[in-house]
Structure 1
Amino acid sequence: MSDIASTDGPPAFDDPFSGDDVEQRIYGTILQIRDPTTASAIAEQVECDPKTARKYLRWFADLGIVTRHNGHPTTYERNDAYFQWRRINQLAADHSVEELQAHVRELTTRISDYEDAYDAATPAAVDAVAMAEASDERTIDAVYSDFADWATAREARGRYERARQQRASADGEQASG
């Protein structure tokens, strides 16, 4: 086996943005940060000048991609609402009203099945440990897996419903225009 690393394939997972320009590396870092972070810390992570990081972060803030928190020092954090909005717009663009309605129906059925199985409106309303202990069929891991799927289905249904409404509104405007 050769000691020379292959140059084919994606970059190493620990530095997925190493080949990108500074703007892309900053954007990639924004996607990964969970807490308000200074421009200097982001600049250090992406290996660029802090002034350059601030310039792009101000631009990303103007676009709504990040939220700027004034203070000393100023910090930035990912704006999850922007990414949610973007996902809904993409769903509306990629699917017809009928396809979106079908997804809403399928997700509603899955949610109803969980509500019936656990006799509750949400996963938060169920004591997972008590449910697993009272059941011969469900392990605690199976209950938590159900809860994760149930919560995901509830969130997805909300996105698909908002996308359906957006698409229906856009289709209605095109038909009347």
Structure 2
Amino acid sequence: MKEPRPELQADDEQVPEFDPVPADELVRGERTRDDFFDAVLSLDSPQTAGEVADRAGHGVDAAREYLEWFEQMGIVTQVGESPATYRRNQEYLDWRRVQRIREEYTDEELVELLERAAERDAAFAEAFGVEAPSAVSITDYAAETEQSVTEVWEDVTAWQTTRRRIALLERALTGTTEASGSTPAV
């Protein structure tokens, strides 16, 4: 191998000092876990370990390990055997969300948030002239009101979000742990 030109060679005074990186920062694996967690959260249909690995940008073996771990935690559910197929466990994620809401807000704040969400829900129902967002035909309503399909779709999805928010707030206020509304056993 040829020596670099003299102006490119470092002498002892020019050698930069690097602070050593602690080994636990090099091997802690949080980014990989986060990549798989993000991939699992984005699932809208059952996926194989290979498909989850592709979404996460990591190998299939790592995907299998993380999926098994996520299944033990309740974040995913295995729905197929050969090949192993997993789906996001939305019930678990909703439960975690309710727990976080309970930790973050007082009952008084939750009641205030619920009242505002209920008012917004009523305003949507009045504006659309129906009781639920699922009863809105986006294209028909856009044509009837001379709005763009995009505008109507955005309003309908905002209404759906409001309905989901109401359900979560009610669960947080009433102490229910499941979407069905049951209360925890004591």
TM-score scaled by structure 1?
0.70
Work out the CA distance in 1 between the residues paired with 2:140 and 2:171. Answer: 35
Go from structure 1 to structure 2 and tell me whether the alpha carbon gap of 1:31 and 1:142 turns closer, same or farther (over 3 Å shift): closer
2:42 pairs with 1:32: yes
TM-score scaled by structure 2?
0.67
After TM superposition, give the deviation of residue 96 of structure 1 in Å: 0.6
State the one-letter code of the partner of 1:133: A
User: Which residue of structure 2 lines up, in the alignment, with residue 57 of structure 1?
Assistant: 67
After TM superposition, give the deviation of residue 80 of structure 1 in Å: 1.8
> Cα deviation per residue 1:12-53 (whole Å; 9 max; x = unaligned)?
xxxxxxx84543333232223333222244446543461x43
User: Which residue of structure 2 lines up, in the alignment, with residue 47 of structure 1?
Assistant: 58
Work out the CA distance in 2 between the residues paired with 1:53 and 1:127. Answer: 40
Higher RCO (CA 8 Å, separation ≥ 6 residues): 1
2:143 pairs with 1:133: yes
Pick the structure with greater CA Rg: 2
User: Which residue of structure 2 lines up, in the alignment, with residue 151 of structure 1?
Assistant: 160
2:98 pairs with 1:98: no
Checking the alignment, whether the CA contact within 8 Å between 1:22 and 1:48 is kept in structure 2 is no
Work out the CA distance in 2 between the residues paired with 1:73 and 1:107. Answer: 43
SS at match of 2:86: strand
After TM superposition, give the deviation of residue 99 of structure 1 in Å: 0.6
Work out the CA distance in 2 between the residues paired with 1:132 and 1:109. Answer: 23
After TM superposition, give the deviation of residue 66 of structure 1 in Å: 0.8
User: Which residue of structure 1 lines up, in the alignment, with residue 175 of structure 2?
Assistant: 166
Checking the alignment, whether the CA contact within 8 Å between 1:38 and 1:75 is kept in structure 2 is yes
State the one-letter code of the partner of 1:47: H
After TM superposition, give the deviation of residue 140 of structure 1 in Å: 3.8
Bigger fraction of residues in helix: 1
Go from structure 1 to structure 2 and tell me whether the alpha carbon gap of 1:132 and 1:95 turns closer, same or farther (over 3 Å shift): same
User: Which residue of structure 1 lines up, in the alignment, with residue 20 of structure 2?
Assistant: none
State the one-letter code of the partner of 1:107: A
Checking the alignment, whether the CA contact within 8 Å between 1:29 and 1:46 is kept in structure 2 is no
| Match runs of 1:69-108 below 5 Å | 69-108=79-118
Worse-superposed segment, 120-129 or 100-109: 120-129
State the one-letter code of the partner of 1:72: S
Go from structure 1 to structure 2 and tell me whether the alpha carbon gap of 1:30 and 1:135 turns closer, same or farther (over 3 Å shift): closer
User: Where does the alignment leave 5 or more consecutive residues of structure 1 unmatched?
Assistant: 1-18, 168-177
Go from structure 1 to structure 2 and tell me whether the alpha carbon gap of 1:117 and 1:101 turns closer, same or farther (over 3 Å shift): same
Checking the alignment, whether the CA contact within 8 Å between 2:53 and 2:60 is kept in structure 1 is yes
Checking the alignment, whether the CA contact within 8 Å between 2:49 and 2:60 is kept in structure 1 is no
User: Where does the alignment leave 5 or more consecutive residues of structure 2 unmatched?
Assistant: 1-28, 177-186
Quote the RMSD (CA, aligned, Å). Answer: 2.5
SS at match of 1:35: coil
